[in-house]
Structure formats: C-alpha cells, structure tokens
Structure 1
C-alpha cells in the first residue's frame, strides 16, 4: 500500500511527513474513521462519513474535502480490491506546543490503506468465535466522538492479551458500554439487546446495520442498560465492527456463553450481512 493522501496530495508513503508540532501528535487533538472497501467500493461509506462529520463538528474542526472522491481514488491507486482505509484529521500545526489554538488553523488530513479479508465471501464457518474479559471503562465522557485518543482502549486490549483472550468488554457504573474496538450485543430468548446509544458509546456503523437488518427480518431488538449478570446469562453475545462485521463471543471471564458455541441467531445475522454485502457490491 504505497500511496497515501496527505493534505490534498497523493504521494508515496515514504514521502509523507507531519510536523512534530501537529496537535494530533502532541495532544491527540484529532478524529478518525476506518472504512472497509470491498472490490474497490466503500461499505457503508455514507454512514462512516456522517459519523466523521459528527466528530469534526463536536471538536470544531472545519475540513472541507470531497471525501468520497478522495478515498475512492486512494483505493484505486493502491490496486483496488478489498482494502481498509484509515482517515485521520487533526486540528493542524501552529508551530509550538500550546493548549490554546487559533480558530483558523488548517487541519492536517491523512489517509492510507491496508489489505483486509472479505469475510463475507469466506462464509460463516470461517468466523472464529472470540473469548473476552470484562474490565473497567476508563475512557473520557465523549465516546461518541471517534477520537484518536485511544490510550484507555490500548490498555484494556493489552489486559485482554495478557489474560490470553481476544477482546475486552468495558463496564462503567455497573453497566456494559462496548468493547475496546467494537460494539456489544446479546441475545436473550430471540431478542437482540444492545446498550443504549449515547455519549458513553461510539455509534457504530455496523451496530446500526445490525439493527436495520434485524428490523427488516422481523427480529426484535431493544436498546437497554445491560449489567454484568444480564451479560453472563445471555443465550448469545456478539461484538461488531466495520472490518469484522458481527462476531460471536463464546467465553467471558473464563465462563462459556450458553453452551460455548456459535448461536443460531448469530448465524442468521451473518447470513443477512452476507446477502446485504453481496447486493451492495453487485448493485
């Protein structure tokens, strides 16, 4: 993936440099998106860009770019196919380190690509369930902003790795919020439950797609508070993200979820995802 986009130019990644005084580097004063492209076409691209605009407005960065054209061209320049695009926008560089910033700063805009697997083409049997732990949610109060300030997420994922599992599910004030890099859902008696959307969680594009597909298929859903006991008593537990779609959680804190196998409603949801993706890519 040799070509990147930086501040209006497509250049070789070896030529891409950013000032050490950039506020994204100094303060994490920046937001980002990760957008999957399959066969060179953006998956839920509009929804990702809507969330990007929400993040930019929330921290008062004005970045006037034709994102669709830029990202699609970047994917094409890196060979097309199945790629994940990382897009980051920082407040920019003022030439010194100061908490105070000028309103007219010019943002730093960066995007790059990396290969991803077309999980839908591989099929449900190729999806391995994951094991997770529950740990304290140490993040700030505006998790609806997709900020690059990910130190708490990094620490809980390292905690998960040290525990020999794949994911960390976070809990705050007795209620589950989401995973380190994913949204959370559980199934109880045929109903899909997910934590209420608010400032405590990121409005995941895949989370919203799950709710849309469930509604179209007649599967009931509810956005509710989920405590630890409810999580551990679930018939199924899922996590979701843009590049992983919907993944079954088979074990939490060393205890199997139900019988410890992939659940039937997860299999149905993955089938709905596959159909949606195929229709989108072939449309």
Structure 2
C-alpha cells in the first residue's frame, strides 16, 4: 500500500497528461474547425492522411526519418558503450570531471547547439572553412551543399547524446558483480577479455531494452536537431528534411490542424507496431532480454 501511495502522483500525472489527451486523436479523422470544436467538426475519414502519402516528397522525408534514426541508434550505442567501458577504467578522482564534460551538451537546447554549429560551419568566418583555407583547400558553403549533412547531423547528435547514454551504460557496468571480474583475473583474463566475456554479456539486456524503446521512435524524428542545426535552409532539404520538419512547415503555411494530427497519429501507430515487432523478435531469440 505504501508503494502504491508513492506511485500515485506519477500515475495521476501520466493519466492526465498522456491518456486523457488521447481523445484528441479523433481530430485526425475530422475537418477541424475552431468554431465547431472537436465534437462538432465534420468527419472526413482518412482524407487527412492523403496529404502525406500523395505528396511528392513523401518518400524522401520517410527515408530520411528512418535512415537518420537507424544511424543515430547504431552510432550512439556503439560509441556510448565504448565510452562507458573507458570510464570504468579511469581513476575515480577524474571520473566526475569527465562525466560533467560529457553530459553538459545533453542539457543544451538545440537553439544553443545551432549557434555552436554555425560557429564551425559559417561560410565566411567558420572554424571549418578557416582550417580548410589554412591547408590550401577551397571554402565550402555548408548550408548550400546537401551531401555533407548526413555526416554533420550524425556528428552533432552524437555530441549531444553520447554523454547521457554513456552514463546509463556506466551505471549498468557498476551493477555487475565484481566477483565475476575477480574470478576472471585469477584465471588470467586480460582487460579486453573481461570486456568481451563479462561486461558486454552482462549489459546485453540493458542494450536490448534501450534499442527496443529507440525503435519505437524510428518514425518520429528529432525536430530540434533537423530544424535548428541546418538553419532551415531550403537548399539542403534533400538530406535534412524529415517528417516532423515537413509537417511543421506545412502546418505553419497552411494551418491545417487535422492534417498535422493525422501524421502524428500515423507516426505513433507505426512506432507502436515497431516496438511490438522488435520485442516479439527479441523474445523469439532470448526471452529474458525482452521488454515484456
């Protein structure tokens, strides 16, 4: 009873902020009018979904959203695991310094991150073009050349996310029984063998659970990253535009709330299906590593 009482505020918060607003999904199937409200607006069925699927850029933004999220998941997971393992090897007196330095970008807004990125990529006075000029190369107009942005966005996302992800995996490493390492050292295991045969296998359930949760957001891109970092430059839309930024521009120009709601429902439904499918696959491979 005590534990239930402690969880009650969080349960009420989730119910009010997450479950009650779910009634609003009906807007996706209506021609919403402000004066008529949700209940009084006309039902139009799946007509609002046609906006996305019939648009010329539907394939491009869907491809970008999925591929970027796959890249973010893979790159962040691999690098964060490596950093967490390295953190476990450094002296304890330096640990807080490294932790603070790494996690600081996670708390910066994308607006601030966009100005930092601009300091590197500005056409005239950016650090990158200054270095290119110093080595005899031509300056690059980064905000007009779309081919560079898959690498830039992956680098910026990694810079912002790696600190928090590494600390999550580091906490998992601290939870591993130290006697396993002691027994392996007695048997002559080296550091690489300790990581390969103890650390990674023990972290596998945590890695799988985090990946399953990430897969649920595969169709929901990071709006702040893809809107602010490229400065919403139209010249690089082919490689920076995702579903969220495309819908934002459409909503700001057209003002169609029903269409935006339809796409949001589409993203949530696909994310739900992906989570169920990923968890089902993991259960078939190893039931102990599944989320539910």
TM-score bracket for this pair, using the shorter chain length:
under 0.3
Higher helix share: 2
The one of the two structures with greater contact order (alpha-carbon pairs below 8 A, sep at least 6) is 2
Q: Which has the higher strand share?
A: 1
TM-score (norm 1): 0.24
Higher CA-based Rg? 2
